[in-house]
Amino acid sequence: MKMPTPILPVAVGQPNTLDRAIMAVAPVYGARRYQARVAIAMTGQYSGAKWRKAALKAWRTFAGSADADTLGDLPTLRARSRDLTRNNPVATGAQNTARTHTVGTGLHFRAQIDRDLLGMSEDEADRWERDFEKKFHLWAKSKSCDITLKQNFYDLQGLIFNTVFESGDCLVLRRIAKRPAVAPLALAVIEADRLATPAVLGADPYIRSGVRLDLDGAAVSYFVLREHPGDFFLTTYLDFDEVPAFGANSGEPMALHIYRRLRPEQTRGVPELAPVIEILKQLDRYTEAELMSAVVASFFTVFIKTQDGSGLAPGAPMPGLEQEADDVVLGPGSVASLGVNESSETASTNRANSNFDAFFSAIIRQIGVALGIPYELLIMHFTASYTASRAAIEMAQKFFAERREWLVSDFCAPVLEWFLSDAITSGVVRAPGFFESPLLRAAWLSGIWIPPVGLVLDPKKEWEGDAAGVALGALTLEEVALKRTNGDWLKKTEQRGREHAKRVALMLEPAILDDGNAPLLPPGDADGTGSESDDDTEGKPAPVKGKPAAKPAPGAR
């Protein structure tokens, strides 16, 4: 079937007389001229892509690949990002806020295995989950899980978050523990600078910044420097080890490359502060200049001028500053003498700058937008209404939840799998079928990671909302206990039972019995939370069927 002839825009049409004449004399030049005219006419209608607009003439960009756009800049981005987190209060606060609310004191694992798939009863599954949680926690809180013997697993989570925030990525290697532990597993955290390409392999297109890739872009191995290239105490000169990404026989991961992948085919991670490095540095300089101007403007210095030059002794230099013979140092209450025919002039600094706070706040809001942290939380200052502050916290919680899910997926869950694998091999844990079936392996590893306790602006309103959610069936007591206290609802319920029994024995709380057998909930406690009612019976013992009401204990309301 004959294909239809493409219809060109009216402005272009077919080659005109001039086009044909030029093509006849200079075919190549004429064809290129005509193609260029067609390309201009076929340009899209996005204003942002126009080259002739005055605002966009100097804006030259290059559509490079993810690696082309990032790998060359990474060393500089890392160094500047680390400098900001060391010396810039806003950058330090952003990092600390993000880590505190994402990781906190560490994410703890709560096992929830798929007992139906594993063919286990509820009691069997519960016993296995409690046993595994206890053993994993014993390993996680021991510093034996760190190859450097300096941090436990919960501390390493914060270290990983900080490292990726500052440097963009890091590498975690699977090692054998140096000291006896619940499972023979230890983790080695490698900083981003140590992941680099050896000079002799620099021309290999499948080795990108220390990562060897296969044809599909999957990592095959990692080239790790034995020491940090910026270390002043190097004992070796840039010696490398090639670490396989997966075991040759087992096929299990041997290294975790942890970073946030923002584009397809992106091999290395970018520091979180990369989009705001320039604006943070400029704001830092502006703040420092304003601070210095305010300090200088606050000085009060007296100058003494005499006719014969025999004035008072020059003022003493400020503490910590050296003064040359001809220097005059400004300072609070300083007195300086001037020679014959000398005078002093001062420039008004007009301090304090009334616009500083508004400008600073506007820039901080832009930084917060780029980092995904609301302004109120970034500066740790809530001055808006409860509704506005609550909305800011809710938005921040989404940011923290997204970062937490990434950390669990890239670090916590793989480490848990390493632990269970080594624990089964060493006979510490039994999990039939773990190595035989990926489906059963996933069933044994099912569970949740408990996040840090969220911010609460008004505890009364928050708890009332939780109680309403439980009453509607939208929330469970377990979810509320985890969200508010990170606690175990079952242990809390058992403890509440013991406390209630003790208070009933002391006649401090009512005990309602049904025919003297089954204990019921006291009035106003229909949801089982133990909350007191607001009616006139609050704090009074409830009557028991067929028996008079218990007499209140002395001192009870």
Integer Cα distance of 185 and 176 in angstroms: 5
Structural domain span for residue 536: 488-557
> Which residues are CB-neighbours of 247 under 8 A, at least 6 positions away?
253, 254
Tokens 């523990």 appear where?
Answer: 177
Residue 429 domain-assigned (yes or no)? no
Mean pLDDT, rounded, of the chain = 81
Q: What total of structural domains would you count in the chain?
A: 3
**Bridge partners, 195 (sequence order):** 224
| DSSP letter, residue 427 | T
The number of C-alpha atoms within 13 Å of 45 and in the hemisphere containing its C-beta is 0
Q: How many residues are given for the chain?
A: 557
Average pLDDT over residues 61-83: 93
Does 423 reside within a domain? Answer: no
CA distance 78 to 193: 9
Q: How does pLDDT run across 103-116, given as a tens digit for each residue? A: 999 999 999 999 99
Burial class of residue 19 (count of CB atoms within 10 Å of its CB; 0-12, 13-18, 19+): middle
pLDDT over threshold 80, residue 532: no
CA dihedral 44, 49, 53, 57 (to 10 degrees): -140
Name the residue among 200, 194, 251, 265 with its Cα closest to residue 223.
194
Residue closest to 143 by CA, chosen among 107, 178, 191: 178
In this structure, are residues 187 and 175 in contact, taking their beta carbons and an 8 Å threshold? yes
b/e per residue, 172-193, with b = 16+ CB within 10 A? bbbeebeeebbbbbbbebbbbb
479: pLDDT confidence band, cut at 50, 70 and 90?
confident
Q: Does a structural domain hold residue 95?
A: no
Residues of the chain above pLDDT 70, percent: 78
DSSP annotation of 519? E
Residue 436 lies in a domain: no
pTM reported for the whole predicted model: 0.74
For the stretch 398-405, contacts whose Cβ atoms lie closer than 8 Å and that sit 24 or more positions apart, written own/partner, are 399/98, 399/372, 399/373, 400/98, 400/101, 400/102, 400/451, 401/451, 403/98, 403/102, 403/161, 404/102, 404/103, 404/107, 404/449, 404/451
Stretch 137-160: mean pLDDT, rounded?
96
Rounded distance between C-alpha atoms, residue 158 and residue 321, angstroms: 40
Q: Answer whether residue 292 is part of any domain.
A: yes
Q: 10 Å Cβ neighbour count for 30?
A: 18
Q: Cis omega (within 30 of 0) on the bond before 352?
A: yes
Q: Is residue 267 part of a domain?
A: no
What are the residues facing 334 on neighbouring strands? 301
Buried b (16+ CB within 10 A) or exposed e, 432-442: eebeeeeebbe
Tokens representing residue 521 in the block: 């909930």
- Among 155-169, 271-285, 359-373, 404-418, the range scoring the smallest mean pLDDT is 359-373
Which of 332, 362, 378 marks a domain boundary? 378
540: confidence class by pLDDT, cuts 50, 70, 90: very low
pLDDT in tens, 265-287: 999 999 999 999 999 999 999 88
Alpha carbon distance 486, 51 (integer Å)? 56
Which residues, in sequence order, are CB contacts of 332 under 8 Å at separation 6+? 298, 299, 300
Do residues 534 and 521 lie in contact, with contact meaning Cβ atoms separated by under 8 Å?
Answer: no
- Give the per-residue pLDDT at 542: 46
Cβ atoms < 10 Å from Cβ of 168: 22
Average pLDDT of the residues in 53-70: 87
Q: Using one digit for the tens of pLDDT, what is the confidence trace for 180-229?
A: 899 999 999 999 999 999 999 989 999 999 999 999 999 999 999 999 99
Q: Are 154 and 106 in contact (CB under 8 A)?
A: yes
In-domain check, residue 339? yes
337, pLDDT greater than 80: no
C-alpha to C-alpha distance for 365 and 358, rounded to whole angstroms: 11
How many Å apart are CA 179 and CA 494, to the nearest integer? 37
Phi, psi for residue 538 in degrees, rounded to 5:
-60, 130
pLDDT category of residue 347 using cuts at 50, 70 and 90: low
222 three-state secondary structure: strand
pLDDT confidence tier of residue 556, bands split at 50, 70 and 90: very low
Residue 320 lies in a domain: yes
Q: Over the stretch 373-395, which tens digit does the pLDDT of each residue have?
A: 888 888 877 777 778 878 888 88
